[in-house]
Chain A
Amino acid sequence: MSQREFQNPTELDERTRQAVYDLFLVLADTKHLLGLRYGEWLGAPAIEASIASVAMAQDEFGHARLFYGLLGDFHQAGVPEREEKPEEYRNFEGLDRAWESWLDFIAANVLVDGALSVQIEALRGSSYVPVRRMVAKIVQEERFHQQHARGWLLRVAREGAKPKAELEKALKRIWEPVLLWLGRPGSEHERALVSAGIQDTDGEGLRTRLIERLGPLLVEEAGLDLPLSNDAITGQWVLGTALSWEGFDDAFRRRSRTGPDPETFRQIESFLGHAYPVGS
């Protein structure tokens, strides 16, 4: 791994600059959309859960703003600004439309927020100094999100066979896209990010970290039936099924370029320019 430090995108070679820009935009858009989805659940099952949802939404919007804030230097260094249209958005594909139930909320809280945490933690010792500075605060706030996710997951999983089966379905709907989201093995993006020391491991390494966290919680504690098992010999958690990478776009970290649905895009248009409107 490179020992160099980078203060500005102009110090990165062109291939790495584009890979870092793509990563930051994926993180910004995904956190932006996750914040929007969390914020839609003011009618959560209990008043305490509503307050916690909005608090998490507030965190996600704050994190999105931090990542959007990093992009300006890249535009100055010659990376073109993206066009503000849905198909250019790089949010995780499971956030394109509003969640149908509280179980979708819990599934995303566990899997999407969990994958985001793993990705961002891999930037803790990043050679790109501006991102390294903001990681600690994000990681600390994410711990509270994981506590919330874990609490709800275990509550529903222990409520009875029917809620547990429904929760399993909600998790399975986004299971593969979440695992893909961490990055395709051997892609040019991966190689650029790791060789320049931007992040400390590749997508395969991130996936291993995620499933090492999820296995004990989902399978052992919650007793959920997901394609994940503990290898009796190595003691490591392994995926039970191969991932299908067909159509996966390394720059967008998703399999389709459809972006948020029209209703969602209308809501996020106020975020254009990546600044919060302060009244008219």
Chain B
Amino acid sequence: MKFGEIYEIFARQRRVDPLQHIGSVVAPNEDLAAAYARSIYNEEPWIEMRVVARRHLIPAIDLATTRSPA
């Protein structure tokens, strides 16, 4: 991909909340993924936000082998 790869963004607003997926961003490296995520998804008062390259998410159930529901 010309501008980098897809990073998934996880965040939470309170300590008792779990980290939840809030969106994604395309960036050329991890630092820019974090910088972009922080500036683009800054509407809520997050106490924690993390980004991870989509390719680093380990498939447990893979879309390619999942049967569509009838």
B46 vs chain A, min Cβ distance (A) = 12
Contact of A48 among B26, B29, B31, B42 (CB under 8 A): B26
Chain A, interface SS category: helix
Q: Given A46-B3, A55-B42, A155 and B36 touching (CB < 8 A)?
A: no
Q: Which of the 9-residue segments A127-135, A145-153, A208-216 touches chain B?
A: A145-153
How many residue pairs bridge A and B at CB < 8 Å?
51
Are B38 and A48 closer than 8 Å at their CB atoms? no
Q: Is the CB of A48 within 8 A of B34?
A: no
Could you tell me if A147 and B35 are in contact, using CB atoms closer than 8 angstroms? Answer: yes
Residues of B within 8 A of A154 (CB): 29, 31
Q: Within the complex, which residue of B25, B26, B35, B40 is in contact with A148, where a contact is CB–CB below 8 Å? A: B35
- The answer to whether A148 and B31 touch across the interface, beta carbons within 8 angstroms, is yes
- The complex places the Cα of A89 from the Cα of B19 at a distance, in Å, of 46
Instruction: Find out whether the CB atom of B29 lies under 8 angstroms from the CB atom of A155.
Output: yes
Q: What 0/1 pattern do residues 28 to 65 of B give for CB contact below 8 A with A?
A: 11111111101110100000000000000000000000
- Most B-side CB within 10 Å, residue of A144, A151, A154: A151
A52 within 8 A of B: yes
Decide yes or no whether A226 CB sits under 8 A from chain B: no
Bound-state Cα–Cα, A152 to B30, Å: 11
* Contact partners of B35 in chain A: CB under 8 A: 52, 144, 147-148, 151
Contact of B28 among A56, A148, A155 (CB under 8 A): A155
Inter-chain contacts of B36 with A (CB < 8 A) = 48-49, 51-52
Complex interface bits, A172-212 against B, C-beta within 8 A gives 1, otherwise 0: 00000000000000000000000000000000000000000
Beta-carbon nearest neighbor of B33 in chain A: A151
Enumerate chain B residues within 8 angstroms of A52, measured Cβ to Cβ.
35-36, 38-40
A144-B39, A147-B35, A151-B30 are known contacts; what are 5 more A-B pairs with Cβ within 8 Å? A51-B36, A144-B34, A151-B28, A151-B35, A155-B32
Q: Which residues of A contact B (CB under 8 A)?
A: 46, 48-49, 51-52, 54-56, 144, 147-148, 150-152, 154-155
